[in-house]
Chain A
């Protein structure tokens, strides 16, 4: 039985339950619900590990993913959304969040069923 995340990334496990949503729309909704402070907390914890996480996942490849790898992939994608709030929009995020949910996600190439 694998852990929630691959062992090298265990420190990020507290964020899995909320941020490792299975679809792009789910991750976008997580950003909307979280608010700026929670996005910033996740981004601060996760961004320093993201290069390493992507390199680890690239080396493994989708075909070899186990459930923990799937969760790490979804978490890294969640970091894109949190990062757009914390790193790109910054102080504009509260105003930005008022209308962004009206941009409805319909299709995403990342929307494959993970084995979470």
Chain B
């Protein structure tokens, strides 16, 4: 047995006692009223990561993002000046959605209903028979949405009125993000899944490693090992509402022939690009629902969007630098993406089983152990915001 294997100890209970040890109520995982308050207190007020600048490769590129939890459709545009902006996908005449494609390039957008036409930064350019209105064009601009970029990741904030700057909101996480492979990425692998589970239940699955050896017995790879059978992290970090874990790796793990080939080709092509194939492996979780697993071979983000009290959507993106340079790189990326998809498919199945149990009402509480402290931290942060909203609302009624 290796020395590093013998010496592993997960973070101790007393280090994390400040988070509390109470059982967690189940109602917030299915209650429609609680969910509605989460949307109001969190999702309509927080910075949300919704894209990457590589999706806007040139001036006048745009993407459309549907934020179902808020019934909002957003247009994200790179202007002629290179700036990335967000505005509602809505015509200011009668509210019709302007764009029904997922992405494209356009200097202006015309509403199909009455042909109101807007510049791609939202100004009304013209409208047929505009003299019939008692309006100034300047008053008909499309409403903007707060939009900022850090590390190539595009964030929006639906707050009306001033908001905290994104870099300030991220705190120390901003600099950590800027050290990850998402910076400078030019190509993506993306897969998505819809799931019958509350967004917290979905997200929590990816904040703890306790389940790895049971759910990913064939795909966990270097995530577990003899000295660390549950694959617990080496450390946790907490930064306001955000959190990190220091991933533990089993350097003695054994792999199947396909895995060995995929990893070997990946290491070779990364080396050709001057990237350390082992390197660091940051795990950065941004409140409320995005985390980044920034390994060299498989750098990916996973964002969970709420769709209802017991429904959510996961969006997984792997970030690549440059188009496939050669067939080995194409092979390595296909392998990395599809192995990860297998892993997440295993997660999805068991998460839905968890929601069925919670929605049954059989339990008043669930339990987080010390090595599920990131889940507890998320719950604490969510609960504080919902209770503050309710107190504010109740105070207003008094």
Contact = CB atoms under 8 A, between A and B. Distances in A.
Contact of B331 (A80, A105, A107): A80
Contacts of B342: 84, 88-89, 96, 100
B251 interface: no
What interface size band does chain B fall in?
35 or more
Contacts of A88: 218-219, 256, 258-259, 339, 342
B328 A54 contact: yes
A47 B184 CA distance: 34
Interface string A51-69: 1001001100110000000
Contacts of A89: 218-219, 342
Interface residues of A, number: 37
A110 interface: yes
Interface string A63-98: 000000000010011001101100111101000101
B333 interface: yes
A76 B265 CA distance: 13
A107 B309 CA distance: 28
B324 A103 contact: no
A109 B328 contact: no
B192 A109 contact: no
Interface of B is mostly: helix
A109 B258 contact: no
Contact of B326 (A24, A58, A107): A58
Interface string B37-53: 00000000000000000
B152 to A, nearest CB: 16
Interface in B318-340: 320, 323-324, 326-328, 330-331, 333-335, 337-339
Nearest to B219: A88
B316 to A, nearest CB: 8
Contacts of A109: 187-189, 320, 323-324, 330, 333
B260 to A, nearest CB: 10
Interface of A: 24, 27-28, 43, 47, 50-51, 54, 57-58, 61-62, 73, 76-77, 80-81, 83-84, 87-90, 92, 96, 98-100, 102-110
17 contacts: A28-B341, A57-B326, A77-B331, A80-B335, A87-B256, A88-B219, A88-B258, A102-B345, A103-B345, A104-B193, A105-B341, A107-B190, A108-B189, A109-B189, A109-B320, A110-B333, A110-B334
The 6 closest A-B pairs by CB, nearest first: A57-B327, A83-B258, A107-B190, A87-B258, A106-B190, A100-B345
